Structure 1
Amino acid sequence: MRTTLLSLAALLLFIGTAWADPLTLKECLNRAATQNQALRATSHDTAIAQQQVEIARSAWRPRIDLQAGYQAQQAAQAVQLGPIVEETQQADFPFLNLTLNSTLYDFGRTEARVSAARMQREAARHSYSGSEQDLFLQVVRAYYGILEAHKVVQAAEDEVVQMTSHQKTAQALYDQGVVTRNDLLQAEVRVAASRQKLLSAQNAVENGWLLLNYLTGTPPQQRAELQEDPLPLLAPTVEAPTDISRRGEILALRSAVSASDYAVQEAKTNYYPEIFARLGLDYVQNDRVREQSIMYATVGVKVNLFDGLATTSRLRQAVEARSRDQERLRDLEARVALELAQAQNDVKVATARIKVAEKAIQQGIENLRITKDRYQEKVGTATEVVDAQTLLTQTRTDYYQSVFDLQVADARVRRAAGNL
């Protein structure tokens, strides 16, 4: 029994140590890249598009068809020569047909179809890259959101301590008859409000962990110690020109435009004939003829003379689809440029906010100290103490938010360029 308890204690100690292992942003990104279910589902799109390429290529290869069966007729087929009627086949007979068809030349139709499929495959590959980058940005937001929430919890805890201390001071002064009961009630209400703020901050931490675990494909209950050091790739570089031409979504749409070009070429070839070759074997069991099996070879040309203007409509449809993709590409490039400019502005503003907040925190601490001293000396009011503590908490919250907003904004700059 003693051994069992010791083993259980050792296991719990191991689990506790594993729970407290440090976790970096880079590790979270690696987990998301390999374990996120939505991203893993998207990864199949490239393989699906590759099979579409193989389907298009199949037109270059011969096609072999086999047909066999047994036919039962009401009466045997016959010919009449004057008064003589002679059957030319049996009433019931098996048959077999084996053909090999191959397109010799189709004026580039198959080549255009294969090229379009290849571009669609490239579009799928680049779309996966864009989805991965979006996921990485969500991970960055969730990661730094947890760190910010932890800092807010610390600020809220400090506010609870300060407000509780103020409540005790108000209670002592009230017991001495120096202040009114209103001061004491106000202090008690502020303590309750600070505790509610702390609960909300703690809830934000838990919700942040649930989101981060979902994005990284880890169990919801897992927790770790997040590292605050930013990744080297997230270091601000907003002054240098940022190239957005390599972003996954832009490359995907460019590939889609190229696929549309090939679709237009394919639609045009429907006006042209097709040269084909055919080898065949026909067998019909018929004891009344000399040759029951016939082998043949054919080289021919087939062309559509009129299809109700379907070919014309398909060509117009392909042209409109290409124009649509081109407009979407221009719109996407404009939106990405806007996204980049906004992210760069947010980086600059967050940097400035950090400097302002750092100084404001020192001023807020000094302001709270002076205000508490004035209250204890019966010069200041309880309201001034409460306001000073609330202001300090808000200043600290603003500082933490600015610090992590800088990291997220910098990640958005990288995301806009497609190299997060």
Structure 2
Amino acid sequence: MRTTLLSLAALLLLAGTACAEPLTLKECLNRAATHNQSLRATSYDTAIAQQQVEIARSAWRPRIDLQAGYQAQQAAQAVQFGPIVQETQEADFAFLNLALNSTLYDFGRTEARVAAARMQREAARYSYSGAEQDLFLQVVRAYYGILEARKVVQAAEDEVVQMASHQKTAQALFEQGVVTRNDLLQAEVRVAASRQKLLSAQNAVENSWLLLNYLTGLPPQKRGELQEEPLTTLAPAADATVDLSRRGEVLALRSAVGAADYAVQEAKTSYYPEIFGRLGLDYVQNDKVREQSIMYAVVGFKVILFDGLATTSRLRQAVEARSRDQERLRDLEARVALELAQAQNDVKVAAARIGVAEKAIQQGMENLRITKDRYQEKVGTATEVVDAQTLLTQTRTDYYQSVFDLQVAAARVRRAAGNL
């Protein structure tokens, strides 16, 4: 009865797969690039950094300030000339101040600030590229993970069929009195274990689909017919020299180092004066004076004479931050080179494993056939049959894992080069 139900479930699964629309890896990558929520959130970093550039540029533009109000005092201000007291203002009055302020020259402070903001914008753009590449690698893993899990399901289904067949053989031999009940019980236990393995494999397929749908922004229940598309032909040769300068994270950190250089330049300009200009209009309601409104123009400079060594500390802080980013860049370049070397090694090893596994599958199938014949001829034991079937299933699983590892390793090579 259980065998019938499992067969029916397998048929339904195959029927659903046959009706599912084709889904290629390229389509999954394109959907991930446009629908993944995490990547879409990261995309705002570039727009935010662009606004920081505009904020820095604002120092080149004049600033207009307006201040107005009404002031009520306890008494009017007055001056005293001996016994004579003369009020100089009203007790309650309105006032207004309109001023246009502009920095005429600041020894490159604003220019350095704008340049640093531009470098930060570039860093955000490259960081987005790195996040996109990481997402693509996750999609590749999930995509080929589904293909591998489905192959494992097929191997587990074959094992269930073979174990059920062995159970029937043990049942017949037991009824003939040729083998003991222990052989029959062992066969029944192995059938149950194979069914549990099949359930686990089917669950792995479902979990892999849930992950792929999450990464690509598809509904959780969405299923498609995945196409086996090798990436190995698109990957650089294992011994080829790969230019790592296209790696998004490397470019982002290089831009961060450039921004740190400009931050040091900006901190140095704090030792120099700032030349400014100002146009203004002041109005104070006061009928005791001739001019209530005064327009004026100012050209002047301001300089920090002493600020408790805050400027010196800011400069040292900028220098230390630049040194930190430079060390991070060197470390990242070394880690990327290590990642590339490991991925290239994995490509070579996975390709070699496939050849070994293919031959092992043929040997395992022949070993199972011989072992089953020996058992039916009452020469071999039930344990030998079970071990032969388990070995064949493991060999097939190793083969599918090798194929999956080869595709993922090829994707990792391209990811390390920044062109996945």
Q: Aligned partners of 2:17 and 2:374: how far apart in 1?
A: 47
Q: Deviations over 1:370-394 (max 9, x none)?
A: 1111111111111111111111000
Q: Aligned partners of 1:79 and 1:229: how far apart in 2?
A: 94
Contact persistence 1:19–1:223 (CA under 8 A): no
1:123 match: 123
Following TM superposition, by how much is the alpha carbon of 1:138 offset from its aligned partner in structure 2, in angstroms?
Answer: 0.4
Contact persistence 2:273–2:303 (CA under 8 A): yes
Q: Aligned partners of 1:311 and 1:220: how far apart in 2?
A: 56
Distance 1:254 1:86, change over 3 A: same
Amino acid at match of 1:125: R
Contact persistence 1:275–1:301 (CA under 8 A): yes
Contact persistence 2:17–2:224 (CA under 8 A): no
Following TM superposition, by how much is the alpha carbon of 1:234 offset from its aligned partner in structure 2, in angstroms?
Answer: 3.7
Structure 1 position 194 matched with structure 2 position 194: yes
Structure 1 unaligned segments of length 5 or more: list them: 1-15
Amino acid at match of 2:331: D
- Stretch moving more, 334-343 or 229-238: 229-238
Q: Aligned partners of 1:113 and 1:319: how far apart in 2?
A: 15
Within-5 A mapping of 1:405-420: 405-420=405-420
Q: Deviations over 1:203-233 (max 9, x none)?
A: 1000001110110111111111111122587
2:353 match: 353
2:21 match: 21
Following TM superposition, by how much is the alpha carbon of 1:243 offset from its aligned partner in structure 2, in angstroms?
Answer: 1.1
Q: Aligned partners of 2:27 and 2:150: how far apart in 1?
A: 20
Following TM superposition, by how much is the alpha carbon of 1:67 offset from its aligned partner in structure 2, in angstroms?
Answer: 0.1
Number of residue-to-residue matches in the alignment: 405
Structure 1 position 331 matched with structure 2 position 323: no
Following TM superposition, by how much is the alpha carbon of 1:87 offset from its aligned partner in structure 2, in angstroms?
Answer: 1.0
Structure 1 position 290 matched with structure 2 position 290: yes
Q: Secondary structure at the match of 2:244?
A: coil
Within-5 A mapping of 1:230-241: 230-231=230-231, 234-235=234-235, 237-241=237-241
Structure 1 position 322 matched with structure 2 position 322: yes
Following TM superposition, by how much is the alpha carbon of 1:18 offset from its aligned partner in structure 2, in angstroms?
Answer: 10
1:262 match: 262
2:88 match: 88
Within-5 A mapping of 1:394-405: 394-405=394-405
Q: Deviations over 1:53-94 (max 9, x none)?
A: 000000000000000000011111111122211111111000
Q: Aligned partners of 1:34 and 1:348: how far apart in 2?
A: 33
Contact persistence 2:276–2:301 (CA under 8 A): yes
Q: Aligned partners of 2:17 and 2:372: how far apart in 1?
A: 42
Q: Secondary structure at the match of 2:335?
A: helix
Amino acid at match of 1:32: A
1:5 match: none
Following TM superposition, by how much is the alpha carbon of 1:238 offset from its aligned partner in structure 2, in angstroms?
Answer: 2.0
2:228 match: 228
Following TM superposition, by how much is the alpha carbon of 1:101 offset from its aligned partner in structure 2, in angstroms?
Answer: 0.4
Distance 1:19 1:53, change over 3 A: farther
Q: Aligned partners of 1:249 and 1:235: how far apart in 2?
A: 20
Q: Aligned partners of 1:143 and 1:201: how far apart in 2?
A: 16
Q: Aligned partners of 1:190 and 1:116: how far apart in 2?
A: 67
Q: Aligned partners of 1:44 and 1:233: how far apart in 2?
A: 35
Amino acid at match of 2:297: A
2:302 match: 302
Amino acid at match of 2:368: L
TM-score (norm 1): 0.95
Q: Deviations over 1:331-388 (max 9, x none)?
A: 0001111111100000000000000001111111111111111111111111111111
Q: Secondary structure at the match of 2:95?
A: strand
Q: Secondary structure at the match of 1:394?
A: helix
Q: Deviations over 1:276-307 (max 9, x none)?
A: 00000000111111111000000001001000
Q: Secondary structure at the match of 1:304?
A: coil
Q: Deviations over 1:294-323 (max 9, x none)?
A: 000000010010000000000000000000
Following TM superposition, by how much is the alpha carbon of 1:237 offset from its aligned partner in structure 2, in angstroms?
Answer: 2.5
Contact persistence 2:18–2:225 (CA under 8 A): no
1:180 match: 180
Contact persistence 2:235–2:413 (CA under 8 A): no
Q: Aligned partners of 2:229 and 2:145: how far apart in 1?
A: 14
Contact persistence 1:19–1:222 (CA under 8 A): no
- Stretch moving more, 77-86 or 60-69: 77-86
2:5 match: none
2:388 match: 388
1:168 match: 168
Q: Secondary structure at the match of 2:245?
A: coil
2:245 match: 245
Contact persistence 2:65–2:99 (CA under 8 A): yes
1:51 match: 51
Q: Aligned partners of 2:353 and 2:130: how far apart in 1?
A: 31
2:141 match: 141
2:97 match: 97
Q: Aligned partners of 1:99 and 1:120: how far apart in 2?
A: 33
Contact persistence 1:234–1:407 (CA under 8 A): no
Q: Aligned partners of 1:266 and 1:236: how far apart in 2?
A: 43
- Stretch moving more, 221-230 or 306-315: 221-230
Q: Secondary structure at the match of 1:245?
A: helix
Q: Aligned partners of 1:119 and 1:235: how far apart in 2?
A: 31
Q: Deviations over 1:35-62 (max 9, x none)?
A: 0000000000000000000000000000
Q: Aligned partners of 2:141 and 2:111: how far apart in 1?
A: 45
Q: Aligned partners of 2:201 and 2:26: how far apart in 1?
A: 25
Q: Aligned partners of 2:233 and 2:366: how far apart in 1?
A: 38
Q: Aligned partners of 1:370 and 1:97: how far apart in 2?
A: 103
1:13 match: none
Q: Aligned partners of 1:17 and 1:403: how far apart in 2?
A: 21
Identical-pair percentage: 89
RMSD: 1.2
Structure 1 position 343 matched with structure 2 position 349: no
Contact persistence 1:25–1:231 (CA under 8 A): no
1:3 match: none
